[in-house]
Structure 1
Amino acid sequence: MSLDLSATMRTFATGICVVTTFTEEEGGRRHDAVALRSFTSVSLEPPLVSLAVRRDCEVLGTLLTTGLWAVSILDVAGVDLAQALDGAAEDRARTLLTCTTTPGPRTGALVLDAPGWLECALYDRHDTGDHTVLIGEVLATGGRHRRPPLVSVNGRLRVLSEA
């Protein structure tokens, strides 16, 4: 029996989120973002969540250096956004300029207009396989439900309806 973990895990529906962070540069803050499927709650006390980020992801270094990020959970309106954040740094920066965002009150990372969002500070990290798992302490939460959530299943972005 051969393992095809990727094909098997594609059958597991997961939500899509955008993780934003920043670097301080001469002339101001440079924001960056990545769309992720590997996000989950780890603990309610203390409030912790985890992100699994590919080690070759450009945003990982910034996440580790800054130690602060925001997670915005996407709904159906986020399909184009999720796809656009797979590009080069300049493309990601341009994409962020087209979004409705506000700096998070606790971290300064950009919070998108999304059904749910969290602000986090680095609590722990684990280098595992080809990913780094970041554990974040949740500093703030918010959002509002308006549209059906966006999920990934069988390698495609889909809308989850209540029907």
Structure 2
Amino acid sequence: MELDLRTVMRQFATGVGVVSTWAEGPDGPGGRRHDAITVNSLIPVSFDPPLVSLSLRHGSAFLADLLRARRWGVSILAADGADTARLLSRSRESRIEALGSLPAAPGPHTGTLLFDGPGWMECALADSFTVGDHLMVIGTVLATGVRAAQEPLVFLHGSITPATAP
């Protein structure tokens, strides 16, 4: 019997968010080069202390920047955030170019970009460990915010869709 984890997991709806971090450099606000990626691997780990985890592919330039900065922001996307999710799921060069046109502002605790959506958090690296072909990073949640309730954007059947879609 062949294992087909990818096909099985396509049957499981997950929320969609954007994770952002930065690297020192002259390219952006505050002398930083910002980058952001679309994720669906955000998991709450603990409420006391407040911890969340992300799983990021080994070898990604985004992961390298996150490990150097030791800071990241998470923006939970609403149903109308599908365009943002698609733009930030592309190559690094495309993502960095897209950041100039997306509504975002640096968070007060980490300087990472926070995007429009129903909720956000800013995190600091607490731990990391290898899990298969990914690195799981655990972050201490430094700050959170909730905006008006909105329908969430979800990843289901291999695509991004509003939660209310048939």
- TM-score, normalised to structure 2, is 0.93
Deviation string, structure 1 residues 14-66 (Cα, Å, up to 9, x no partner): 00010000011146110001101100100001000000111132200001110
Other-structure match for 1:153: 156
Partners of 1:3 and 1:162 in 2: CA distance: 29
Question: Partner residue of 2:110?
Answer: 107
Per the alignment, in what secondary structure is the counterpart of residue 124 of structure 1? strand
- Give percent identity, aligned residues only: 46
* Consecutive unaligned residues in structure 2, runs of 5 or more: none
Measure, in 2, the Cα distance between the counterparts of 1:156 and 1:26. 35
Q: Equivalent residue for 2:15?
A: 15
RMSD: 1.6
Residue of structure 2 equivalent to 1:4: 4
How much has 1:143 moved relative to structure 2? 2.5
Aligned counterparts of 1:77 and 1:56: Cα–Cα separation in 2: 31
> Structure 1: which 5+ residue stretches go unaligned?
none
SS at match of 2:7: helix
Give, in whole Å, the separation in 2 of the partners of 1:87 and 1:58. 13
Residues 162/84 of structure 1: CA separation in 2 closer, same or farther (3 Å cut): closer
Between the aligned partners of 1:39 and 1:26, the Cα distance in structure 2 is 30
Distance apart, 1:91 and its partner CA: 1.1
* Equivalent residues in 2 for 1:1-163, closer than 5 Å: 1-26=1-26, 28-161=31-164
Residues in 2 aligned to 1:56 and 1:6: alpha-carbon distance in whole angstroms: 21
Deviation at 1:162, TM superposition (A): 9.7
Deviates more, 1:26-35 or 1:118-127: 26-35
**TM-score, structure 1 as length reference:** 0.94
Give 1:83 shift. Answer: 1.1
**One-letter identity of the residue aligned with 2:87:** A
